[in-house]
Copies of this chain bind each other. A is one copy, B any other.
C-alpha cells in the first residue's frame, strides 16, 4: 500500500517467541489480537516476527526491532521450564544482569502454599536489571518492561491481561480511521480506477483485498486515513467507481 505518513504516528513491532508456532503445533492467536488492540489505541503495528526458542535469534530480533520502532512487544518463553529462555535473552540483548527480583518474589510467593515456591517457580521471578514489572492478573508471575520492550506471556489469556496492564503507559498517535467498500467483482476490474483514486487522495491508504469463494471472486476495498474528512472524500470516489463498474 502506498501513501504518506502524517505526524503523530507511533509505531510498534511484535516478536512472537516459540518453536511451537513455527512447527505448526500451536496456531497463533496473539498476532491478530495485538494488531486489533494496537490499531484501536492509535499505535501502528509495522512488523511481526516469529522466532524459535533460541537465544541468538531472540537477541538479534529484539535488538533490530527496538532500534527501529517506538515500541516492541514480545510473547512467549517466560514460564518456569527449561525451554523458556526469553528473560535471559532479553537481559542479554540489553547487556544487563538477570536476577531474582524482590518485587516479583513479593507478588508470587504468597500465591503458593508454604514450601511450594520452588526453584522452577522462582525462575519466573528473574527480571532483568532496570526493568519495571507488568502485572499478571491471571496467574501472578509478572511480565516486564525494559526500555521500549514489553515482555509478556504466550498464553493468550495472560498476554491479553498483560496488554490491559500495559496500555495506560503507552503514548498513542492519531488513530488510523478505516472504511470498507465491498465490490462484487474481481479486483482486476476496478484496479485502474483505484490507482487513480489513490493518486487523487495521497493522504489515504487504499487497499484492495480479493476473496475467493466457490470459484467466484469479490473484492473488499479498504480506505484508511487519520483524517475523517479526507477519508470520506476518498470513500465517496471509491463507492462511485464501484457503482459505475457494477452497472
Contact = CB atoms under 8 A, between A and B. Distances in A.
Interface residues of A, number: 73
A217 B46 CA distance: 33
Q: Quick one: which of A31, A46, A83 has the most chain B CB within 10 A?
A: A83
Given A23-B39, A178-B23, A191-B120, A1 B52 contact: yes
B222 A25 contact: yes
A136 to B, nearest CB: 11
Nearest to A124: B188
Copies assembled? 2
Interface string A206-237: 11111110010100001010000000000000
Interface in A135-162: 138-139, 155, 157-158
Contacts of A215: 138
Q: Is the interface of A mostly helix, strand, loop or mixed?
A: mixed
Interface of A: 1-2, 16, 19-28, 31-32, 35-39, 44-54, 57, 79-85, 118-121, 123-124, 138-139, 155, 157-158, 176, 178, 180, 187-188, 190-192, 194-195, 198, 205-212, 215, 217, 222, 224
16 contacts: A1-B53, A2-B53, A2-B82, A19-B205, A25-B222, A46-B52, A46-B57, A48-B49, A49-B49, A80-B191, A81-B187, A81-B190, A81-B195, A82-B195, A119-B192, A155-B211
